[in-house]
Chains A and B, each alone.
Chain A
Amino acid sequence: MRRLTLILALLAAPLSAETVNGLRTVEEFDGMEGEDRSVALFEEVLKVVEHPRCLNCHPKGDSPLQGDAMEVHQPPVVRGAADFGAPGMNCTTCHGAENVAFVTGDGSIPGHEPWQLAPESMAWVGLSGAEICAQLKDPERNGDRDLAEIHEHMAEDGLVGWGWHPGEGREPVPGTQEVFGELVKAWIDTGAACPAG
């Protein structure tokens, strides 16, 4: 039924794919097979992974980024020994367990428990899709996770999920965490192929 609807939708508007908040669902890739399908699924996953909401806390080097323009975090903060800031100014000095809307004007400060940087091994900023893909699959650089654990992290982790609920003044990542999780699972199930180059 869903398939039929999709086909009808495609017939009606061949250029508009079935998306949820700008992220294509797994079913969208049903027409593809083998490695092509796996790569295509991963490229859809990248729409989330390469979004500033995710990249900003997967920075290269010592400083998180912020904003859609991915500028260096202000105030200047450092990763610290535990990816949690410096003694005297940890992430939690400003970031609480939830997003907090500013009372004096527009915007909010993001929050989640925990709130911290991805480890340096998981830096994504500056990497190509292929490089991110390789990193994700490399236990040396993905926090010693197997692919099932990668899926679990993507589909269920609360800090990952913050990307869809980033608070006033920030654009959420596309899709939903559920659709994203399904995409990751489908990518893994199709052999977790990486894009070329």
Chain B
Amino acid sequence: MTLLTVNGEEVSLDLPEDTPLLWALRDELRLTGTKFGCGIAQCGACTVMVDGMPRRSCVTPVGTLEGASVETIEKVEGPEAKAVQDAWTRIDVPQCGWCQSGQVMSATALLRMNPAPSDEDIDNAMAGNICRCATYVRIRAAIHDAAETLEG
């Protein structure tokens, strides 16, 4: 039994400790916005925040999360998340959309740590998120756009 907080609510997970957080979120909590793409931390589709830091949920056993606070795409909040999601919509970033929850989470994490990232900062933060549709040009533009929104 693991006790943790997910999107601000206390949750107890009665699952084997090696169950990846990804599948606990999806199968147990039905938080399906977090996506499965590779299972080996290569694609970033499963990115969530754990204690405020971005984390690949596919390689995060629930047994390591006792007392942790998890934030998923369904409830990611704050000015950075809003600016990112608005920019994503405005610039029509998504194509198939499967990777975009993870992209949004990584971009949000970046902007929380660095509100005015350069192209290089964006590449460094986002290189772990694969987009097979190659929406990268727009991801970069949308992060800059979100940064401008945050600047006000």
Which residues of A approach B to under 8 Å, CB–CB?
Answer: 74-78, 80, 86-90, 92-94, 96-98, 100-105, 107, 109
Bound together, the chains give a CA A80 to CA B41 distance in angstroms of 20
Residue contact B127 to A93, C-beta cutoff 8 Å: no
Binding site for A on B (CB under 8 A): 18, 20, 38-42, 44, 47, 53-56, 58-61, 64, 106-107, 109-110, 113-114, 117, 121, 124-128, 130
Q: A75-B128, A94-B59, A104-B40 are in contact. List 7 more A-B contacts (CB 8 A).
A: A77-B127, A87-B109, A88-B113, A88-B121, A88-B125, A88-B126, A109-B40
Contacts of A101 on B, CB cut-off 8 Å?
Answer: 18
Residue from B40, B125, B128 within 8 A of A105 (CB atoms): B40
Q: Does A97 contact B124, Cβ atoms closer than 8 Å?
A: no
Give the complex CA separation of A80 and B59 in angstroms.
23
Give chain B's interface secondary structure class: mixed
Q: How far is the CA of A88 from the CA of B114 in the complex (A)?
A: 8
* Bound-state Cα–Cα, A103 to B39, Å: 7
* Chain B residue at smallest Cβ distance from A86: B124
Interface core residue of A77, A89, A98 (most chain B CB under 10 Å):
A89
Q: Give the chain A neighbours of B106 by CB distance below 8 A.
A: 88-89
A88 with B110: CB separation less than 8 A: yes
Top 9 nearest A-B pairs (CB, nearest first) are A88-B125, A88-B110, A86-B124, A87-B113, A104-B39, A94-B41, A75-B128, A87-B114, A76-B127
Q: How far is the CB of B8 from chain A (nearest CB, A)?
A: 22
**In the complex, which of the residues A76, A88, A102 has the most CB atoms of chain B within 10 Å of its own CB atom?**
A88
Among B64, B113, B130, the residue within 8 A (CB) of A96 is B64
Question: When the two chains form their complex, are residues A78 and B128 in contact, meaning their CB atoms are under 8 A apart?
Answer: no
Q: CA separation between A100 and B65, bound complex, in Å? A: 14
Could you say which of B39, B40, B54, B64 contacts A89, with CB atoms under 8 Å apart? B54
Residue of A with least CB distance to B127 = A76
Q: How far is the CA of A103 from the CA of B38 in the complex (A)?
A: 10
**19 A-B Cβ contacts within 8 A?**
A75-B128, A76-B127, A77-B128, A88-B109, A88-B113, A88-B117, A89-B124, A93-B53, A93-B56, A93-B128, A96-B59, A97-B64, A100-B59, A102-B39, A103-B20, A104-B38, A104-B39, A105-B40, A109-B41
Q: Complex formed: what's the CA distance from A89 to B49 in Å?
A: 11
Whether A102 contacts B59 by the Cβ 8 Å rule is: yes
